[in-house]
Amino acid sequence: MSLNQGITILPPLILALFAMGILLIDVFAKDPKGTNTIGYLALSSMIFVFLSLFLFTGRGKMTFGTMISMDVYTIFFYLVFVVIGILTILSSISYVKITGIHSGEYYALILFSMIGMMLMASSTNLIMLFVSLEMMSIPIYVLAGFHRNEERSIEASLKYFLLGAFASGFFLYGLALVYASAGGTSYQGIADFLAATQRLDISTLMWVGIAFVAIGFCFKVAAFPFHSWTPDVYEGAPTPVTAYMATGVKAAAFAAFVRIFFTTFSGFQQDWTAILWVIAVLTMTIGNFTALVQRNVKRMLAYSSIAHAGYLLVAFVAGNTMGRSSILFYLLAYAFMNIGAFTVLMVMAKKNNYHEDLDDFAGLGFKYPLTALAMSVFMFSMAGIPPTAGFIGKFYIFSAAVKSHDYWLAVIGVLNSAVSVYYYLRVVVYMYFKEPENEIPVYRFSVPVVFSIVIAVWGVLQMGVLPGNILNIANHSILSLM
């Protein structure tokens, strides 16, 4: 590997070095307080990755035989992953110590999976795409079952692994069919082949291959009908891992989804958007209406995650520059509000009781007013109420649909968003307007957890009040793909 190649993949390289270092430290350290030390070491890796991104400002390097691109689009998603990593690790530091999770393995797996996420966002080759997908997925299969003595955690890991392996088989078979049809694995090479071929002359293998690739992505973003794993896996996994999965995996999948479909398969946009139109509607509707009947807040957030995938697919179907840039904006906004909400859930959890039911939120606004206020901000943002990041994100998504003349899709999206207001505000109503049936337990607030919640609240309000800068960066990132 040349120096130039090493610099181009510096962010994933930093994470790999820190992950291996954490494993070594965990093996040889005898300090019983080492859990916090390892957590802060993992946190410092995020800071180093963030600083390394300044080396790539304004550059668009291709390396490893054009398998990896370090363009503005890639850098934007690296920033999203850094935000997700910082918030997840901050919320994990006290959680790991209280629950007795093996911290070295835990943080190393988070960093290794993030390497896969980064490579997915930067991949410009089918082989690299599949390798990075598996590198992201396998550590998360393990993380989902990290509570080894809990039945629901083991069940979550097993379900995610079995269904994930099945979806990976579809995905890999689709990539193989695309390769067999186009005779190459480079995104640009496949795009050139399709551009030089008449639409009616495209082989059936290529059409089936594109369909199977779409199935793989739909599984990762939890879109209908490949969403059934989501509630059980999200509920059973450790809460910080659930937040990490809901945001990081979704962001990485959409990063690769947008890049390959709008650069390689762009000539067939009219064909695959017709199918994704239906999937977007069903994903939003099923996610929202199933969330309505949930009393377990963690499970409700899992179903709402499905609905948010539907909103993102609305922008994907719109397909214009505004739609694609709104996907980037919404993924960052979703990272702040989702991880923030799961962090509040994590604070409420005890070893013998997770306090995830709606009744556990009764009276929270009076005993812990700041925590309830933060949770209210996250619920308002997910519901799309101004002045939050969720409102701006949905506004631009539905505006993109209108601009592309997908009026019915925009109307269905707005109606679904209105439905979601009920179950999000129900949490707020319980916190402020319902008397607790039992005494509210004492919750522990560590400094890292407080920082995580504060950063999440700041991100939600900052992107809601002053969204211009992030939207401009997202738009510039999308234009770099063209």
Neighbours of 73 (CB within 10 A): 25
pLDDT on residue 332: 93
Q: What's the rounded Cα separation, in Å, for the pair 474 and 466?
A: 14
Nearest alpha carbon to residue 213 among 277, 327, 126? 126
Ramachandran region, residue 443 (left: φ > 0; alpha: ψ -120 to 50; beta: rest):
beta
Number of domains the chain contains? 1
Residues 409, 368 contacting (CB under 8 angstroms): no
The per-residue b/e assignment along 307-335, b for 16 or more CB within 10 angstroms, e otherwise, is bbbbbbbbbbbbbeebbbbbbbbbbbbbb
387: preceding bond cis by omega (within 30 degrees): yes
Residues 337, 276 contacting (CB under 8 angstroms): no
Q: What's the rounded Cα separation, in Å, for the pair 314 and 79?
A: 24
pTM: 0.92
pLDDT on residue 165: 86
Q: What's the rounded Cα separation, in Å, for the pair 430 and 443?
A: 18
Structural domain boundaries enclosing 136: 3-479
Q: What's the rounded Cα separation, in Å, for the pair 372 and 271?
A: 46
* pLDDT tens for each residue of the chain, 482 residues long: 555 555 678 888 999 999 898 888 877 766 544 457 888 898 999 999 998 888 776 555 666 667 888 888 888 999 999 999 999 999 888 888 777 777 778 889 999 999 999 999 988 888 899 999 999 989 998 888 887 777 778 888 888 888 888 888 888 989 999 888 888 888 888 888 888 776 656 777 888 888 898 888 888 888 888 888 888 888 888 888 889 998 999 999 999 988 888 888 877 777 778 888 999 999 999 999 998 988 888 889 889 999 999 999 999 998 888 888 999 999 999 999 999 999 888 887 766 566 777 877 888 888 888 888 999 999 999 998 988 999 999 999 999 999 988 889 999 999 999 999 999 999 888 888 887 777 666 677 788 888 999 999 999 999 989 888 888 888 888 877 76
pLDDT on residue 32: 46
